[in-house]
Amino acid sequence: MTEQGVRPTAEQVLALAPDDASRTAGAKLGRAGPWSQIGGSASGLVWGLCRGSGSTPYRTVVDVGGPAYKCTCPSRKSPCKHALGLLLLWSARGFAEDGEDAEDGEVPDWAAAWSAERAAKAARTAAAAAGPADGEGAGRRAERRAARIGAGVTELEQRLEDVLRAGLAGQQQAGYGPWEETAARMVDAQAPGLAARVRELGTIPSCGPGWPARMLEEGALLHLLNRGWLGLAGLPEPLAATVRSRVGLPGAAAEGEVVRDRWLVLAQYDSVSPDGRLTTRRTWLRGLGSGRPALVLDFGPPGRPPALALPVGLVVEAEARFRPGTAGLRADLGERSAAAAPDRVPAGVGTGAALEVYGAALREDPWLDAWPVVLGPVVPIPGERGWQLADAEGTCALPVAPVGGAGGSRSGLWQLAALSGGGPVTVFGECGHRGFTPLTAWHPGCPEPVALG
Amino acid sequence: MTTEGTKAGGVSAGLGDGDWEELVSVALLGTGRRKASPGALLDAAAVQTVRRRAGLRPAEAGPRPDPAPRDPRPAPPEAARRRLAQLLAGRTGAGSGGGRRGAAPDLTELLPQWLAAAGRHGYRAPHALVPALLDAARARTDLRAPALALAGARGLWLARLNPDWRFALRGGAGGAGELPDPQDRAGVERLWQEGLFAERVALLGLVRAHEPAAATRLLTTTWATERAEDRLMFLDSLRVGLSEGDEPFLEEALGDRSRNVRSTAAELLSALPRSALAGRMAERALACVGPQGVTPPAECDAGMLRDGVVERPPAGRGERAWWLGQLVEAAPLSCWRERFGGLGAAEIVALPVAGGESWREELHAAWCRAAVRQRDPRWAKALLGAASAPPATAPGTASLAERAKLLSVLPEAERAQWVAEFIRAHGLSEAFQLLGVCLVPWAGTLGRAVVDALDAAREAGSYPWSFSGVMGLAERCLDPAEAERLEAVVARGAAFADPAEASSGAAAYWAEAFQRLVATLRLRAAMLAELAPA
């Protein structure tokens, strides 16, 4: 997005909004009225003064390449409504070619200062990362942490065995409390991955019919993870990295494989941890050259949405650095620049192939709940007891995962049905043991993706 | 999904061959009872789980929905699609705002205009937005007809799949696709006999639009067996396109078992000045009212009762005045000219009434109701009187609601002119109901009058929220072309305001209110421009 020529669409801008209130407020500011001295530079800065309720107008500047935002308003949201409004205005008409109120690309001092400060900070961070690490100290710390996790794992194994010895039947009565306690112990043991799984496990008895089988499945997978950790030394490296990352020790990004590609943003959604303490934002990407899927995670504390906001349909040219383990899905994006959007609907696979890819991925990461798949052409079949996505040809179908988990929504399903009109569509979503969760769809023949939900 | 190979042979000791159901039942009851090892159970279950997940196969597809019929209408241009998405999202997001409105436009109020304009252009709704549109129509009945028309075949197709949207299949514009051709006698007959009530009302309207006599024929076939409340609703639906051809049927209904049906039939007949009932009513009314004064009826006889006169007055009203009002209301207004020696409506209204003020009030109120019912613009105008005169001295009625009804009888241009004069004379505070019956957009004289009156209110030092009703209405109804003049008003206000006052409440609030008004007008102009085909 460093080119002035490539401007985001209004949808893409609105998708950056941290919540509905800012989306509405931002949309209202996306017109010339309150703005003055707006401008944009070739380096990807967009700025303007917004008249608010105070006597001094707010100074708003956005680095569209980041994207990063700065505004003198008191809002703690990022991007604030002023930044959104400015971007909407820019998306609607651009500033450089609009000589009337644009400042001829002359960056005002305050915007330039912010930009320079950002550049300096980035350089410092890069220098710190490249500099020599305290090898010995780090090694000792890692050892200590591994020992604590080991103790936690042993305790958790004991707890699982106790529960099974007594029988799952007692779990509905025992309630969530004891599991929360165990989860807290895992946090103390510095194994956040285990803590999260324990919390999920503890909620299963209250999740309706079929819970004992589901609890046994999840308990067994947790057991498998424990065993994996305890036998880590004997595991081949990729699997060992998967175990470490599942337990809560993500591999250093620096070790991963680097893939440079044009990445199409296929979906983005947030989920909140059961205790409400952490918002996780998942962004699904697909390399247009490599065809490789990538999952970028970003996190936010309560009340503050994660910062990374990539609207569906955007294509960024970037290096993705894949973290070791987790079936090679998890990636971090390096420096991004805008790239042209694809001119066709991505090719989809059938339902059988979709399940096969998921199955194959389980070989590398048996804890994987789902795998990103572009499915199509498929026909959505609404049903009172559950929806299906059926191959356009043949009699095979995937059940749609029950709504209520992460991602996907009822309104999204109906949107999908509306798009299809009973005919075949291409759908992107997560394909896993619970079924398929549709996240994005394409009108037949229209390359612009529609985010569902 | 189904699983290949549910057996996990020889995985665990003491747990059979690891059949999944078996594992679950052991886990449920506890390994303690089976003398099995919990660790071995977990091992076996882990293998089973991963194996099951890795071996998932597609399921058998259920019955597919029939494809939606093709909608030949074009989708709106890109910018208009985005606008609709914003308006629909604003509908749900509106709750989060609250408090004092800022200078930004209120998007929810613009949705009906967008829908109407898109309908005029002959667009269909963008497919992906049809669910949101149906949700909006479900929540707001005023949006139903235009939203369903825009959603078209795709909307009906979706509504059949989702019980939440069943309303779309009931009657009105939405059900039109379901109805048979009005010339298909067998189809009409079948739906009339078997259809749901709403479908039958829609069918009746359709047949009636095609051939009025066929509709009353259809009604007659089942009239005796319909329930009283249904008879009332059917009768009510005859209001649209009422004509003298309906008289025989209505005359028949005067003898109905239900009192409500009788009085509705009488009301409809009285709206037909040449009907026999109107003639009978004229005769009775002329006997009571004349140049000499008012002599109310002494009794309510059987004939009056049959013609829909209600005998018992509401509490607090004299029965003779009550009967008089009903007779005059139902008598054709054309009968008075001769009675008053060839005088016109305005002159008759201006005459003093012998017998006191209360008789004058009764009589004029009844004439007002008659003018509205018979849609007689000359009488309506006479009863409204001069717009600039104080409302209390108005010849017909001082009630704004009644006057708004009278106004709606006038031709559009005259209506706007009258309201503009009213506003120039009395300001905006009383004008809300009257503005409500004016045609949108308010252009020319009316638009100017509203802008000037708002400016006058600002100068007089009132607060803008005293005019929030009119302001809201103006945002939706003022001609976008008035934005120019409004901006001049805003600029003038800023230039003249003395600095101390400008920072004080009223001036700042007015600035904000005018800003919002201008912003909304501009937004409306942009919205309409976006809908223009590329």
Tell me the per-residue pLDDT of B281-310, one tens digit each, with 9 for 90 and over: 999 999 999 888 888 898 999 999 889 888
Does B523 sit within 8 Å of A216, measured CB to CB?
A: no
Portion 149-208 of A in contact with B at CB < 8 A: 157, 160-162, 164-169
Name the residue range of residue B265's domain: 179-270
Same domain, B379 and B358: yes
What total of structural domains would you count in chain B?
4
Q: What gap in Å lies between CA B416 and CA B422, rounded to an integer?
A: 10
Q: What is the pLDDT of residue A266?
A: 94
Question: What is the count of residue pairs from A and B with beta carbons less than 8 Å apart?
Answer: 201
A209-258 pLDDT, tens digit each: 889 999 999 999 999 999 999 999 999 988 999 999 999 887 666 677 89
The size of chain B, in residues, is 534
Chain B hits for A27, CB-CB cut-off 8 Å, are 86, 90, 107
Does A363 sit within 8 Å of B96, measured CB to CB?
A: no
Most confident of A100-104, A274-278, A334-338: A334-338
Question: What's the whole-number mean pLDDT along residues A114-119?
Answer: 82
Can you name the residues that pair with A435 across neighbouring β-strands? A432
Q: What is the pLDDT of residue A108?
A: 84
B31-77 pLDDT, tens digit each: 888 778 999 999 999 999 999 999 999 999 999 999 998 888 999 99
Same domain, B455 and B479: yes
- Mean pLDDT lowest for which of A158-172, A182-196, B79-93, B99-113? B99-113
Same domain, B237 and B287: no
Percent of chain B whose pLDDT exceeds 90: 34
Question: What's the whole-number mean pLDDT along residues A192-210?
Answer: 90
Q: What gap in Å lies between CA B249 and CA B272, rounded to an integer?
A: 13
Question: What's the whole-number mean pLDDT along residues B248-259?
Answer: 91
Q: What is the pLDDT of residue B1?
A: 58
B327 Cβ contact list (under 8 Å, min separation 6)? B281, B284, B285, B288, B297, B304, B309, B366
- Residue A405: which pLDDT band, with cuts at 50, 70 and 90? low
A188/B488: higher pLDDT: A188
- Measured in angstroms, the CA of B442 and the nearest CA of chain A are apart by 23
Closest-CA residue to A326 (of A295, A287, A291, A290): A295
pTM over the 0.90 mark = no
Does B38 sit within 8 Å of A165, measured CB to CB?
A: yes
Alpha helices in A231-350 (DSSP H): 237-247
The architecture (CATH level 2) of A253-338 comes to Beta Barrel (2.40)
Does A381 sit within 8 Å of B62, measured CB to CB?
A: yes
Same domain, B280 and B397: yes
Chain B hits for A419, CB-CB cut-off 8 Å, are 127-128
- Residue B95: which pLDDT band, with cuts at 50, 70 and 90? very low
Question: What's the whole-number mean pLDDT along residues A365-377?
Answer: 94
Confirm whether B305 is domain-assigned: yes
Same domain, B237 and B351: no
Distances in Å between the Cα of B212 and the Cα atoms of B24, B199, B215, B239 are: 71, 18, 5, 12
- Residue A127: which pLDDT band, with cuts at 50, 70 and 90? low
Chain A hits for B130, CB-CB cut-off 8 Å, are 418
The answer to whether the CB of A180 falls within 8 A of the CB of A138 is no
Same domain, B398 and B426: no
The answer to whether the CB of A338 falls within 8 A of the CB of B39 is no
Residue of B nearest to A27 (CA): B86
Portion 27-66 of A in contact with B at CB < 8 A: 27-29, 31, 33-34
Return the residue matching tokens 């919390």. Answer: A199
Confirm whether B297 is domain-assigned: yes
Residue of A nearest to B157 (CA): A421
Same domain, B437 and B505: yes
A353 Cβ contact list (under 8 Å, min separation 6)? none
CB-nearest to A359 from B42, B56, B522 is B56
Does A417 sit within 8 Å of B58, measured CB to CB?
A: no
Does A31 sit within 8 Å of B67, measured CB to CB?
A: no
Which one of B50, B66, B84, B164 makes the best mutation probe of the A interface by having the most chain A beta carbons within 10 Å? B50
Residue A123 has pLDDT above 90, yes or no: no
- Measured in angstroms, the CA of B399 and the nearest CA of chain A are apart by 39
Confirm whether B243 is domain-assigned: yes
B5-14 pLDDT, tens digit each: 433 333 333 4
Q: Give the 3-state secondary structure of residue B60.
A: strand
The answer to whether the CB of A301 falls within 8 A of the CB of A278 is yes
Q: What is the pLDDT of residue B496?
A: 57
Confirm whether B154 is domain-assigned: no
- Residue A381: which pLDDT band, with cuts at 50, 70 and 90? very high
- Residue A284: which pLDDT band, with cuts at 50, 70 and 90? very high
- Measured in angstroms, the CA of B104 and the nearest CA of chain A are apart by 6
A98/B457: higher pLDDT: B457
- Residue B395: which pLDDT band, with cuts at 50, 70 and 90? confident
Q: What is the pLDDT of residue B399?
A: 82
Most confident of A9-13, B332-336, B484-488: B332-336
Q: What is the pLDDT of residue A134?
A: 61
Domain boundary among B407, B436, B455: B407
Question: What's the whole-number mean pLDDT along residues B87-106?
Answer: 56
Same domain, B315 and B420: no
Question: What's the whole-number mean pLDDT along residues B151-174?
Answer: 81
Q: What is the pLDDT of residue B323?
A: 94
Domain boundary among B212, B236, B270: B270
Does A28 sit within 8 Å of B32, measured CB to CB?
A: no
- Measured in angstroms, the CA of A129 and the nearest CA of chain B are apart by 39
Judge whether A221 is closer than 8 Å to chain B, CB to CB. yes
Q: What gap in Å lies between CA B454 and CA B459, rounded to an integer?
A: 9
Confirm whether B172 is domain-assigned: no
Q: What share of chain A is helix, strand, coil (3-state, %, to 5)?
A: 40, 25, 35
Return the residue matching tokens 């006597």. Answer: A55
Q: What gap in Å lies between CA A57 and CA B357, rounded to an integer?
A: 63
Confirm whether B106 is domain-assigned: no
Question: What's the whole-number mean pLDDT along residues B187-212?
Answer: 84
Chain B hits for A423, CB-CB cut-off 8 Å, are 67-68
Does B93 sit within 8 Å of A20, measured CB to CB?
A: yes
Residue B260 has pLDDT above 50, yes or no: yes
Residue A101 has pLDDT above 70, yes or no: no
Does B24 sit within 8 Å of A165, measured CB to CB?
A: no
- Averaged pLDDT score across all residues of chain B: 84
Same domain, B252 and B280: no
Which one of A164, A197, A355 makes the best mutation probe of the B interface by having the most chain B beta carbons within 10 Å? A164
- Residue A6: which pLDDT band, with cuts at 50, 70 and 90? low
Domain boundary among B382, B407, B432: B407
The answer to whether the CB of B9 falls within 8 A of the CB of B18 is yes
Q: What is the pLDDT of residue A193?
A: 92
Q: What is the pLDDT of residue B34?
A: 77
